[in-house]
Each structure stands twice: as structure tokens, then as C-alpha cells.
């Protein structure tokens, strides 16, 4: 059930392999069949990669997610799609939360922070706060990636156990029917 649900939303493997931008950057690495498999290991690993890369505070996170998915041999489309958790609406609260986590970890007082995506903001506002910000991003990336990984593994396992139970009930019902 989970596999069919996920396959419904993913592009066809040939479309991913022949994507011009991916071909330009990754070339023959895209031929690895594990990059498009949908199984517990591949999907949970893709969730780790996607959630982790979502907290990496640099542009072109999708390229990094694709590279990490290829390196870890996990599902490429899911890894890249999950990076879009960070978008223009979610970046300010996510990165402010990462800054708060970094301040708490380093035991630094939290300063007033007004997020603005500009070079002036990076030079004037981020410069004195980069240590807690980057540490918070690393912590949030690791925790969110690990939680996503564990959650998908758990959901997948529950789904498999439910399928086994349903199959066992069908077999018992079929055996009872055959005895009569």
C-alpha cells in the first residue's frame, strides 16, 4: 500500500534519468537503479537526506540533496522534493528556530533578529550571529532528518505488519470456508 501510494506521486524513472539538468550535473550516476527504488531503506533514507538538506542554509539545496541521495543511494525524487519544506514562507521561522537552538546550545543570549533575504542583511545581521545559527542548523538538520528517517521506518513496518495480519485473516477465512 505505501509503495503504491508513493509511486502515484513520483515521476517515471525514465523521466528522472533523462532530465537535462540532472544529466548535466550527475551524468551516468543517475543510472543506479537504487536511486528510484521504493522500499523501506530507500524512502526512509530519502527522508533523512531531504529533511537534513532543508536546514542547510545555502542556495541550491536541491543540488546538494540530489548529490547526497546519489552518494547514499536513496530515492532521488523524494530527497529532492523534501527540500522544498524550506520555501520563502517557511525559511524565516525555520532559520530563526535554528538560531534559537544554537543560542540555547552555546548558552548565548538571544539577540533581536529580523530576517531579510539580502546581502546587506547577511553582512550586518548574520555576521555576529553565525556561530549559533550554523550550530542550530546542524542540530535541527540532524534531528529532523533522524526523526523523518525513524518515522518512515516505523510507518512502513506498521503497514507491513497490517498487510501480514490481513493476509493471515484471509487465509484463515479461506481455510474455514474450504473445511465446510
Give CA–CA dist 55/57, Å, rounded. Answer: 6
Here the cell at position 100 is: 534559537
Rounded to 5 degrees, φ, ψ at 132 are -65, -30
Give CA–CA dist 178/80, Å, rounded. Answer: 50
Give CA–CA dist 113/30, Å, rounded. Answer: 41
Among residues of the chain, what percentage have pLDDT more than 90?
36
In this structure, the number of other CB atoms found within 10 A of the CB of residue 152 comes to: 19
DSSP count for the chain of H helices, then E strands: 9, 0
pLDDT in tens, 16-55: 666 676 666 666 666 677 777 788 899 999 999 999 999 9
pLDDT in tens, 123-176: 777 777 888 999 999 999 999 999 999 999 999 999 889 989 988 888 888 887
Is the distance from CB of 132 to CB of 103 less than 8 angstroms? yes
- Domain borders along the chain are 2-108+130-173
To 10 degrees, the CA torsion angle through 151, 155, 158, 159?
Answer: -170
Tell if the pTM clears 0.85, that is, is over it. no
Is the distance from CB of 145 to CB of 52 less than 8 angstroms? yes
Amino acid at each position: 500500500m505505501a509503495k503504491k501510494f508513493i509511486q502515484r506521486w513520483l515521476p517515471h524513472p525514465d523521466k528522472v534519468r533523462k532530465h537535462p539538468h540532472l544529466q548535466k550535473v550527475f551524468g551516468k550516476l543517475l543510472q543506479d537503479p537504487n536511486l528510484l527504488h521504493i522500499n523501506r531503506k530507500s524512502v526512509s533514507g530519502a527522508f533523512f537526506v531531504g529533511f537534513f538538506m532543508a536546514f542547510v542554509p545555502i542556495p541550491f539545496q536541491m543540488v546538494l540533496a540530489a548529490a547526497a541521495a546519489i552518494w547514499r543511494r536513496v530515492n532521488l525524487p523524494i530527497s529532492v522534493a523534501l527540500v522544498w519544506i524550506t520555501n520563502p514562507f517557511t525559511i524565516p521561522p525555520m532559520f530563526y528556530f535554528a538560531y534559537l537552538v544554537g543560542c540555547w546550545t552555546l548558552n548565548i543570549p538571544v539577540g533581536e533578529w529580523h530576517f531579510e533575504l539580502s546581502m546587506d542583511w547577511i553582512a550586518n545581521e548574520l555576521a555576529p550571529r553565525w556561530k549559533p545559527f550554523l550550530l542550530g542548523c546542524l542540530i535541527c538538520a540532524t534531528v529532523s532528518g533522524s526523526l523523518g528517517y525513524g518515522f518512515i521506518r516505523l510507518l512502513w513496518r506498521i503497514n507491513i505488519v497490517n498487510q501480514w495480519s490481513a493476509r493471515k485473516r484471509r487465509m484463515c477465512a479461506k481455510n474455514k470456508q474450504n473445511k465446510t
